[in-house]
A = this chain, B = another copy of it.
Amino acid sequence: MTQTKRNIAIIGSGLVGSLLAIYLRKYGHTITVFDRRPDIREVEFSGRSINLAMSNRGWKALKEVNIDEEIRKIGIPLDKRAMHVIGKAEYYQKYGKEGEAIWSISRGVLNKKMIDLAENAGVEFRFEEKVWDVDLPNAQVFTGETEKGEWKAYDFDLVFGCDGAFSRVRHKMQRRSRFDYSQDFIDVGYKELTIPPNADGTHKLDRNSFHIWPRGQFMFIAMPNLDGSFTCTLFMPFEGDVSFESIKTKEDAKHFFGTYFPNVKNDIENLMQDFFKNPTSAMVTMKCYPWTYWDKVALVGDSAHAIVPFYGQGMNAGFEDIYVLNSIIQEQGDDWEAIFKNYQEVRKPNGDAIAELSYRNFIEMSSKTADPMFLLQKKIEKRFSEKYPEKWIPVYSRVTFSDRPYSEALAIGDFQEKIMQEVMAMPKIEEKWDSIEVENKILKALEMGH
């Protein structure tokens, strides 16, 4: 589908902004990307990020513009979780079927690559130029050194807000009447830490695993990088008995890592250093509606639907926004009002669904992983799903290894959960969990369907 050439601004040169630039450039539009930060290719990456887990939806969006193979070179496939449980040997849980994996990619490395690709395609990047205001009906963008100083005005035909959870573009839309908005923080924060490579450059832990140290109220994870290091994240309450607030001295930190993470004790010095150097960050679920303004402005990615990171879907959801927006462009052609209307109607329920799924995963990880009945339920589900893979696809696989709508994954997940609740209510389920009786009960319930 050819389109009338437009002059388009994209606010934000992050992953979503740079991929959208690559997509729109294919139609021959003139693209200017603004970012208040310096060019990420010229500075050391600040590292306030959990490593990315690229899954099906992300790959599909990259493939559409033929850059998936290029990106695979900077990723490491992880086909399993490596569980580090105190008092047990490290053990593994396969993510999906044979060949299914999520990919660990450093956010910084990926972002640099994407900006290179966009620039090669003819996209103009204006770094260190902060957008302070957007005139929505006129698609006019105002930039300047400071909020109160002189501003420069740019006229565009279309403006895309890809400026993340604290979007300035959305902020402007939010001041309008009848704009629904919410931001909800969780009481858990996170901090990035690093496990360096061995002296010979190899990885200190299994290279093709997503490493998890679940500890009830808190959790430590590690994802591999190409250079042999692991990017780790410590998730922990801000306040309380064991919390970021409670760890004040090097002594506290040493005790904390020594007690809860004995198998990383050789790296404690390093972890401790990071602990006091790196910031503690907050996590928010952000929802809003509408996502667009007339035929002029649209929000894409985190600016429209920021989610907590416990499903590893933030970037994947943003990339899928772009993929879907592009399919709508293919159908609707030049009518940007229709394109934007259709885009927000299709994507909003999916943004809400992945927000809900991600939040539930946080609750599950925080409060249920130690519950034996919950673990038993997971075991029954797994057993059934392995025996009847066509009848029972676990929600995790629906989200991670499929491109069906998130809202469908949520709805089917709820249905499966209802069945499992009935199963768990069976008398003496602990004894007969792997019996034919249980299996038949699930088969019967599935047959009766919704």
Contact = CB atoms under 8 A, between A and B. Distances in A.
Contacts of A184: 180, 182
A178 B175 CA distance: 20
A177 B181 contact: no
Nearest to A186: B178
Interface in A158-180: 166, 174-175, 177-180
A182 B179 contact: no
A183 interface: yes
Contact of A185 (B166, B180, B238): B180
Contacts of A248: none
A39 B266 CA distance: 69
A328 interface: no
Contacts of A182: 181-184
Contacts of A179: 183, 185
A324 interface: no
A282 interface: yes
A148 interface: yes
A180 B178 contact: no
B185 A183 contact: no
Interface in A177-227: 177-185
Contact of A282 (B148, B166, B174, B178): B178
A179 B184 CA distance: 7
Interface in A269-309: 282
A180 B183 CA distance: 5
A183 B174 CA distance: 9
Instruction: Label chain A's interface by main secondary structure.
Output: loop
The complex is assembled from copies of this chain, and their number is 2
A100 to B, nearest CB: 36
A283 to B, nearest CB: 10
B183 A181 contact: yes
A338 B139 CA distance: 47
A320 B249 CA distance: 45
A180 B282 CA distance: 12
A87 B282 CA distance: 59
Nearest to A185: B178
A168 B184 CA distance: 20
A238 B166 CA distance: 30
Contact of A177 (B148, B177, B178, B185): B185
A238 B177 CA distance: 12
Contacts of A166: 175
A352 to B, nearest CB: 14
Contacts of A175: 166
A342 to B, nearest CB: 18
Interface string A233-248: 0000010000000000
A222 to B, nearest CB: 25
Nearest to A280: B177
A179 B284 CA distance: 9
A282 B180 CA distance: 12
A179 B178 CA distance: 21
Interface in A107-127: none
13 contacts: A174-B183, A177-B185, A177-B282, A178-B238, A179-B185, A180-B183, A180-B184, A180-B185, A181-B181, A181-B182, A181-B183, A182-B182, A182-B184
Q: Top 9 closest A-B pairs, CB basis?
A: A182-B182, A178-B185, A177-B282, A181-B183, A178-B282, A180-B184, A148-B148, A180-B185, A180-B183
Given A178-B238, A178-B282, A181-B183, 17 more contacts: A147-B148, A148-B148, A166-B175, A174-B183, A177-B185, A177-B282, A178-B185, A179-B183, A179-B185, A180-B183, A180-B184, A180-B185, A181-B181, A181-B182, A182-B182, A182-B183, A182-B184
